[in-house]
Structure 1
Amino acid sequence: MSRRPKPSGEDWSLDRVLDTLTALGSEKNRAGMARFGIDTSRAFGVPMAELRPLARRIGKQESLADELWASGYHEARLLAILIIPPVNLTDARALHWLSEIRSWDHSDQLTNVLARREGSDALIAPLAANEKEFLRRAAFALIAWRAVHAKKSPDTEFLSYLPLIRTAASDPRNFVWKAVHWALRQIGKRSSSLHGPALKLAEELFEDQNKTVKRVGREAFRELNSDKVRQRLSISKD
């Protein structure tokens, strides 16, 4: 079996990447993106199934990532997130990119990368306090991703996010409340010791009179109280 050549980015200019995205895009995919609430005003219509292999072909490149982000094209920015060397995704660069985000998938992809980096938890509180929709979403997406990827972080880190979740649960904006219950669900599934506090909060939110708070609690309670989650964590129902 022949081995694949190692990715080499020296031949990939911004123009070449944009030409490739143009060729890969389609109106059908653009329409599909729009149905999922993605801003397609500057989108080619290229699915992630095409972007990930393209990113591997390009390889990690800091300068090209910055050029792709600055272009403003939707898929170019997704590629920027995929090809930025993790060591170069500093807090300053991450916050700059997050401040320019106009779609939830950019927020989720960027926080997925951030969550794998030690120290990214320091960004959560200031992002949660920000009034901009996609910045606040980024806070709770980062919590959710850290619950999955930050294997060495103590459970106390995630307990400290429960008050943030309680506060943000009343934010009715679609891309915020969905990230809030996502974060709560991921905390509760991280370990048996976190399951109880997360389930308790979910139940409290479910009983709240505020419509959005109740919805956040209902979505989280439904999953955390499921047999599937309890069996995986070896937790029985009382």
Structure 2
Amino acid sequence: MRAIGSAENVAGMARFGIVTETALGLSNVELHRIARLVRIDHARAIELWRTGIREARILAAFTAAPKALTLEEAGRWADECNSWEVVDTIADLFVGARFEDVLIPEFAADQREFVRRLAFAMMATAAVHLKREPDSKLLAWLPLIEAHSNDGRNFVKKAVNWALRQIGKRSAACHGPALALEEKLAASEDRTARWIGKEALRELGSEKVRSKLDLPI
């Protein structure tokens, strides 16, 4: 990874708010390619994470074994996150490990920006990937979305918006309750809640989403 890193890529990452102090300059496309070559190895993933290097941590998330991951390891990784990009990557792993029921409420209650973001990134991921779970599981997270819709920190509010949109796009049954919450937030006196509501409404109220869910346009 050190051999194929690029200083130009590092500079580009910084423009997207990615923490680059330990970055080597590999794109996620390159990291996915490496992950396919080296395959799953949980012990190696743990060691990669411990390096603190941006690419090593993302590769750790790509190559860890969800069934081998422990709650203790997941908690430690969450504690050590300092970048939205790494947060969103490990959210996939934590949902794959089926830790969402335990960790989403815990992380949402955490005051740290990246840990709280992780809760909502996990919601968004679960809405897309846990297709066999009942819609009621996702809808049960709407009160958490509403409760934290006034968190104005950039990386939290964007994740809250992301979670709300993904839940609303999941199915026709999810669309109605999510849309109702969006309308409520859009009318809020709180600036952040209002932004979240309006941004989500723009997508969920669109003809494209309604058509996909076979809803009246």
Q: TM-score, normalised by structure 2?
A: 0.97
Amino acid at match of 2:161: H
1:48 aligned onto 2:28: yes
Question: Aligned with 1:23: secondary structure?
Answer: coil
What residue in structure 2 maps to residue 144 of structure 1? Answer: 124
1:70 aligned onto 2:46: no
1:169 aligned onto 2:145: no
Alignment gaps of 5+ in structure 1: 1-20
Tell me, in whole angstroms, the C-alpha distance in 1 between the residues paired with 2:179 and 2:192: 17
- Equivalent residues in 2 for 1:200-219 (5 A)? 200-219=180-199
Is the CA contact 2:182–2:196 (under 8 Å) kept in the aligned structure 1?
A: yes
Question: Aligned with 2:3: secondary structure?
Answer: helix
Of residues 50, 72, 80 in structure 2, which corresponds to 1:100?
Answer: 80
| Deviation for aligned residue 1:22 | 1.0
| Deviation for aligned residue 1:224 | 0.4
What residue in structure 2 maps to residue 157 of structure 1? Answer: 137
| Deviation for aligned residue 1:72 | 0.8
Aligned residues: 217
| Deviation for aligned residue 1:90 | 2.1
Of residues 65, 72, 77 in structure 2, which corresponds to 1:85?
Answer: 65
1:26 aligned onto 2:6: yes
Once the two structures are overlaid, the 10-residue window that deviates more, 61-70 or 43-52, is 61-70
Of residues 174, 194, 207 in structure 2, which corresponds to 1:227?
Answer: 207
| Deviation for aligned residue 1:229 | 0.4
Q: CA RMSD in A?
A: 1.0
Tell me, in whole angstroms, the C-alpha distance in 2 between the residues paired with 1:89 and 1:103: 21
Is the CA contact 2:71–2:99 (under 8 Å) kept in the aligned structure 1?
A: no
Of residues 181, 188, 192 in structure 1, which corresponds to 2:172?
Answer: 192
Amino acid at match of 1:92: E
Task: Give the 4+ runs in structure 1 shifted more than 4 A.
Answer: none
Percent identity of equivalent pairs? 46
What residue in structure 1 maps to residue 106 of structure 2? Answer: 126
1:182 aligned onto 2:162: yes
Tell me, in whole angstroms, the C-alpha distance in 2 between the residues paired with 1:34 and 1:98: 21
Which of the two has higher C-alpha Rg? 1
Tell me, in whole angstroms, the C-alpha distance in 2 between the residues paired with 1:154 and 1:181: 21
Q: TM-score, normalised by structure 1?
A: 0.89
Tell me, in whole angstroms, the C-alpha distance in 1 between the residues paired with 2:128 and 2:101: 13
